[in-house]
Chain A
Amino acid sequence: MLSLVKLENTRLQNQQALLDASNVRSQIAQLQQLLTDRETGQRGYLVTGSPLFLQPYFEAEASIDEVLTLLEGSFDARAWSRLNELVDGQQAHLQETIELADRGDTQTAQSLTMSGRGKAIMDEVRSIALDGLSRYEVKSVETGKSLQNWTLALNTLLYLSALVVAFLILLPAIFLQRNIVRPLNWLEIQLQKFAAAEIDKVDRVQTRIDEIRQFSNRITTTAAALKKTELDLQETTNRSHDYLSGIIDAVPDALIITDDQAHIVRCNSDTESLFGYSQSELIGQPVEILLPEDLRVTHKALREEFLKKPKDRPMGSGPRFVGLAKDGTRLPLAISLNLFASSEGKQIILSLRDVSEIRNTQRLLEKTVEDLKDLETKRNQIFGMVAHELRTPVAAISMMADQHDDTEWLRDRKSLRRTVNDLLNTIDDMRLVINPDLKRPIRSEAFTVQELNASVAANVASIVSSSGVQYEQSNAIPFIFKEAEFRSDTYRVRVAITNIVKNACLHSRGTKVWMVSRLYMGRDGQQYLEWLVKDDGLGIPEDQLDRLFEAGERGDSKADGSGLGLFISKSWIEEIGGEIGYQRARGGGSSFSIRIPLLSSIESGLTEIKETDDGNDLLDSVLANLNILLVEDETMLRMLGQKLLLPLVHDVQVASNGMSGLADFDPEYHDLLLTDNFMPEMSGVELISKLRASGYSGPIVGVTAATIGEQSQDMLVAGADIVLPKPLTKALFRQTVAELMALGHFERSTEDGTEL
């Protein structure tokens, strides 16, 4: 223990010695560095003259004493005082040179610096420092040696004590080794052997498990494949099921499939519509649900009989059955039966056909009633239109008749002609309403906007005065267009504008109606003539706007007229490339616009009506030789017809009905029969039939007012070559004769003509 304490002390001393030596070394190094710094500061100052370098000089100066104090005691007294002298000496030396430099004597200062005194001082400082240091190092080496000796002694002691301890421990250890460790080792080996055997067993089990797992995987794969096959089968089944359902539904009869207990398992959509039950209501029910109660018991017996002696029964071969629909109607049915064995046992297919015509007849009747209603509506519309469209021209004619004397009649022939034309056009249009397949032919006439506006003003004059509204009309097309001739179907345009102006006067409930003709500069580059008709009335309610231009719509129930006006006007205007539109007027009321493409009379592509002679010489010669029999019961028309035709042909004879016509007609003299249809005694149709029956094959022309409906066909069927609408005009007659020539008539007359 003592030696351990001694050893520790020695070790601490050695450590202190090493530490002291290290401290002294670093302090000396610091001192040397400071001395060098002081010198460097002085040199810098000398060379540059900059006081900046005096900064490190003074800093070093300040620290030197501090370091020297630390070093006191680290040196012997002589070395210590010498060191102090040297430090002070350097200071004095440097101070001197700095002062010299301050005085401006840099040369002396520099030569003093270069004298080697500074270096000598530094060298001596270094050697003193080394001496002092070596003293410390010797001291630490001494303590080191003593430490080594002490350590050796201690180790020897330790080994000896270890030997004693080992001996004391070894004996029981040997005992332990022999009596415990060995048996334990043996036991461990045995255990290892046992474990190895067990592990082997486990391995084998693991292998087995793996095999089982593989096998199970194979089973899973097979199961999946089976599942897929099942799905495929299912799909196929579904598809054939769909196919079957499709077929069952496509059968035109009601088809019911029952099991052998007569429960319905399937039925088609015809069954649903025949009996009025849905499929879900029928499936699972006994088939007797479709029979009247009084027949159900009998039927049960019959079907049991059928099952005992099954025999396919074709449709209609057995007795007629009566079925019962859901709504209680009894249905006479024809039934066919087929038995077939399916995977679900015996099944019976029943085909049922409704043999009652009642339902069909009923449906037909309903449809007929509907059609009749439609027809009635149409008829009403036509009557309405007659009132609406015929009133004005008739009123105009009546006014002319009342107001004018003979000379004025002649002067106003042009306006009379126009009024009559409007009337005839209206009558034609009635025919178009009944037979919409016939399109109103598009005509092209030259007109000026001025004239057209004037005719509209004339047409609406009476309505304006009777309705009490203020009517204003202006023509706001460019000056250069005012006299210009354009082409269009003027009748359509005039009627459309007139209609709308009249409607505004009658129904707007305003005080004022304006009409302005102007231009619309279409975005398509096309220019349009546009007529704007505006009123200051109530306007048309929003909810009626979408039906405004439909047939039968009028926007006001009080109005007379058919409401066909707007509908017809719109389609007419559209047929000539124009448009009719409605919008709420700015400032209130309604605003209609009618626009048609602006076509000058030169660029018009519309077909022109040719009323001039075609200058056909052959036609003229035929006409010149023609002898006609005109059969007409109306005295006035008979007289006018004769007067009209006489200048055109050779001779016109007349008869007042079919009977006298038949008597008077001489195939040797007359080249042409012109006949009316509705006449007393004998009709035109009868006259024609009789003449044809007698073998006459020459030309016959019917002239009739009945241009509507099938009566015009009757005369054609009876044998007329051509049927003309009344009134007969010269142009129409010329055209007709030309057509008859084209049909191969009048060849005899021509020959006669050339012979003459």
Chain B
Amino acid sequence: MRDLELIIVEDDPISQSVYLDALVGTGCHTAFCGSVASAVSLSSMIFPDVVIMDLGLPDGSGVEAIANIRGTCKTSAPYILVVTASTSSAQHQAALEAGAKSIMVKPIVEGEIRRILAQLSDS
């Protein structure tokens, strides 16, 4: 069981609070940000284990950020979980092609987030 480096890319304050509740007791070092630019810059510094990524961000699409993070953090190969309100399968496909590991359609399921984190923390 190790502590995970986690980046949450989510521009909606209410969704951020949901993540806050979900993360209690998980041992995650958690950085929050709400834009593609800050997600990319934080990733290049932190080399995260996990990125939780919203797709609709004010300065662009999460898909862009995913591709960029995959490129920057080759060695740490972060697990990228897309959590989006979008149901467009074309968008999902694009995210997966960019390097996302899995996709969750909002609403955010706290239990599922905790399950994924626990699994990664144990691996």
Give chain A's interface residues, CB within 8 Å of chain B.
472, 474, 476-480, 514, 516, 518-525, 527, 530, 532, 534, 586-587, 593
Contact A587 B42 (CB under 8 A): no
Contact B46 A522 (CB under 8 A): no
Contact B75 A587 (CB under 8 A): yes
Contact B17 A478 (CB under 8 A): yes
CB 8 Å contact bits of B2-37 with A (1 = contact, 0 = none):
010101000001001101100111111111111000
Contact A516 B45 (CB under 8 A): yes
Contact A521 B31 (CB under 8 A): no
- The CA-CA distance from A480 to B17 in the complex, in Å, is 8
- The CA-CA distance from A514 to B38 in the complex, in Å, is 13
- The CA-CA distance from A523 to B117 in the complex, in Å, is 13
Contact A479 B34 (CB under 8 A): yes
- The CA-CA distance from A178 to B1 in the complex, in Å, is 117
Contact A534 B45 (CB under 8 A): yes
List B contacts of A587 (CB < 8 A).
47, 75
Partner of B29, one of A474, A480, A518, A524: A518
Contact B24 A527 (CB under 8 A): yes
List B contacts of A478 (CB < 8 A).
13, 16-17, 19-20, 32
* Whole-angstrom distance between the Cβ of A497 and the nearest chain B Cβ: 16
* Whole-angstrom distance between the Cβ of B2 and the nearest chain A Cβ: 11
List B contacts of A474 (CB < 8 A).
33, 38, 41-42
8 nearest A-B residue pairs (beta carbon): A476-B31, A586-B47, A518-B31, A479-B13, A521-B23, A523-B27, A478-B16, A525-B25
Contact B75 A516 (CB under 8 A): no
List A contacts of B24 (CB < 8 A).
521, 525, 527
Partner of B32, one of A479, A524, A586: A479
Is B76 part of the contact surface with A, judged by Cβ < 8 Å? Answer: yes
List A contacts of B41 (CB < 8 A).
472, 474
* Whole-angstrom distance between the Cβ of B50 and the nearest chain A Cβ: 12
Partner of A476, one of B17, B20, B27, B33: B33
List A contacts of B5 (CB < 8 A).
586
Count of chain A to chain B residue pairs whose CB atoms are closer than 8 Å in the complex: 74
Given A474-B41, A474-B42, A587-B47, decide whether A518 and B25 contact each other with a Cβ distance below 8 A: no
List B contacts of A593 (CB < 8 A).
29
Contact B16 A480 (CB under 8 A): yes
* Whole-angstrom distance between the Cβ of A50 and the nearest chain B Cβ: 81
List A contacts of B17 (CB < 8 A).
478, 480
- The CA-CA distance from A241 to B55 in the complex, in Å, is 88
* Whole-angstrom distance between the Cβ of B40 and the nearest chain A Cβ: 12
- The CA-CA distance from A522 to B27 in the complex, in Å, is 5
Chain A residue with the shortest CB-CB distance to B44: A587
- The CA-CA distance from A522 to B24 in the complex, in Å, is 7
List B contacts of A521 (CB < 8 A).
23-28, 30
Chain B interface helix/strand/loop/mixed: mixed
Contact B29 A532 (CB under 8 A): yes
Give chain B's interface residues, CB within 8 Å of chain A.
3, 5, 7, 13, 16-17, 19-20, 23-34, 38, 41-42, 45-47, 75-76
Contact B46 A516 (CB under 8 A): yes
- The CA-CA distance from A390 to B95 in the complex, in Å, is 52
- The CA-CA distance from A432 to B17 in the complex, in Å, is 42
List A contacts of B13 (CB < 8 A).
478-480
Of listed A478, A516, A523, A530, residue having the most chain B CB within 10 A = A478
List B contacts of A514 (CB < 8 A).
45
- The CA-CA distance from A472 to B37 in the complex, in Å, is 14
List A contacts of B47 (CB < 8 A).
586-587
Contact A522 B25 (CB under 8 A): yes
Chain B residue with the shortest CB-CB distance to A527: B24
List A contacts of B20 (CB < 8 A).
478, 519, 527
Given A474-B41, A478-B13, decide whether A530 and B29 contact each other with a Cβ distance below 8 A: yes
Given A479-B34, A525-B24, decide whether A586 and B16 contact each other with a Cβ distance below 8 A: no
List B contacts of A530 (CB < 8 A).
29
List B contacts of A527 (CB < 8 A).
20, 24
List A contacts of B16 (CB < 8 A).
478-480
Pairs across A and B, CB under 8 Å, 12 listed: A476-B32, A476-B33, A478-B16, A479-B16, A480-B13, A480-B16, A518-B30, A519-B20, A523-B26, A523-B27, A524-B25, A586-B76
* Whole-angstrom distance between the Cβ of B57 and the nearest chain A Cβ: 14
Partner of A516, one of B28, B42, B76: B42
- The CA-CA distance from A99 to B41 in the complex, in Å, is 118
List B contacts of A476 (CB < 8 A).
7, 31-33, 38, 42
List A contacts of B38 (CB < 8 A).
474, 476
- The CA-CA distance from A255 to B31 in the complex, in Å, is 74
Of listed A474, A480, A518, A524, residue having the most chain B CB within 10 A = A518
* Whole-angstrom distance between the Cβ of A138 and the nearest chain B Cβ: 111
Of listed B16, B19, B28, B30, residue having the most chain A CB within 10 A = B30
Chain B residue with the shortest CB-CB distance to A593: B29
* Whole-angstrom distance between the Cβ of B108 and the nearest chain A Cβ: 14
* Whole-angstrom distance between the Cβ of B32 and the nearest chain A Cβ: 5
- The CA-CA distance from A700 to B75 in the complex, in Å, is 70
Given A516-B42, A586-B46, A587-B75, decide whether A477 and B25 contact each other with a Cβ distance below 8 A: no
Chain B residue with the shortest CB-CB distance to A516: B31
Partner of B30, one of A472, A479, A519, A534: A519
* Whole-angstrom distance between the Cβ of B122 and the nearest chain A Cβ: 13
* Whole-angstrom distance between the Cβ of B53 and the nearest chain A Cβ: 15
- The CA-CA distance from A534 to B42 in the complex, in Å, is 12
Chain B residue with the shortest CB-CB distance to A521: B23
* Whole-angstrom distance between the Cβ of A584 and the nearest chain B Cβ: 11
List A contacts of B33 (CB < 8 A).
474, 476
- The CA-CA distance from A520 to B25 in the complex, in Å, is 9
Contact A532 B32 (CB under 8 A): no
Chain A residue with the shortest CB-CB distance to B33: A476
List B contacts of A519 (CB < 8 A).
20, 23, 29-32
* Whole-angstrom distance between the Cβ of B98 and the nearest chain A Cβ: 21
- The CA-CA distance from A476 to B17 in the complex, in Å, is 14
Chain A residue with the shortest CB-CB distance to B1: A523
Contact B25 A523 (CB under 8 A): yes
List A contacts of B76 (CB < 8 A).
586
* Whole-angstrom distance between the Cβ of A521 and the nearest chain B Cβ: 4
- The CA-CA distance from A586 to B19 in the complex, in Å, is 25
Partner of A520, one of B19, B29, B34, B75: B29
Q: What 20 new A-B contacts, CB under 8 Å, besides A474-B33, A530-B29, A586-B46?
A: A472-B41, A474-B38, A476-B7, A476-B31, A477-B32, A479-B13, A514-B45, A518-B30, A519-B32, A520-B28, A520-B29, A521-B25, A523-B25, A523-B26, A523-B27, A525-B25, A532-B29, A534-B45, A587-B75, A593-B29
Of listed B23, B32, B42, residue having the most chain A CB within 10 A = B32
* Whole-angstrom distance between the Cβ of B102 and the nearest chain A Cβ: 21
Chain A residue with the shortest CB-CB distance to B8: A478
List A contacts of B19 (CB < 8 A).
478
- The CA-CA distance from A517 to B29 in the complex, in Å, is 10
- The CA-CA distance from A736 to B91 in the complex, in Å, is 71
List B contacts of A472 (CB < 8 A).
41, 45
- The CA-CA distance from A718 to B81 in the complex, in Å, is 73
Of listed B31, B34, B45, residue having the most chain A CB within 10 A = B45
* Whole-angstrom distance between the Cβ of B27 and the nearest chain A Cβ: 4
- The CA-CA distance from A523 to B1 in the complex, in Å, is 11
List A contacts of B31 (CB < 8 A).
476, 516, 518-519
Chain A residue with the shortest CB-CB distance to B23: A521
- The CA-CA distance from A478 to B16 in the complex, in Å, is 6
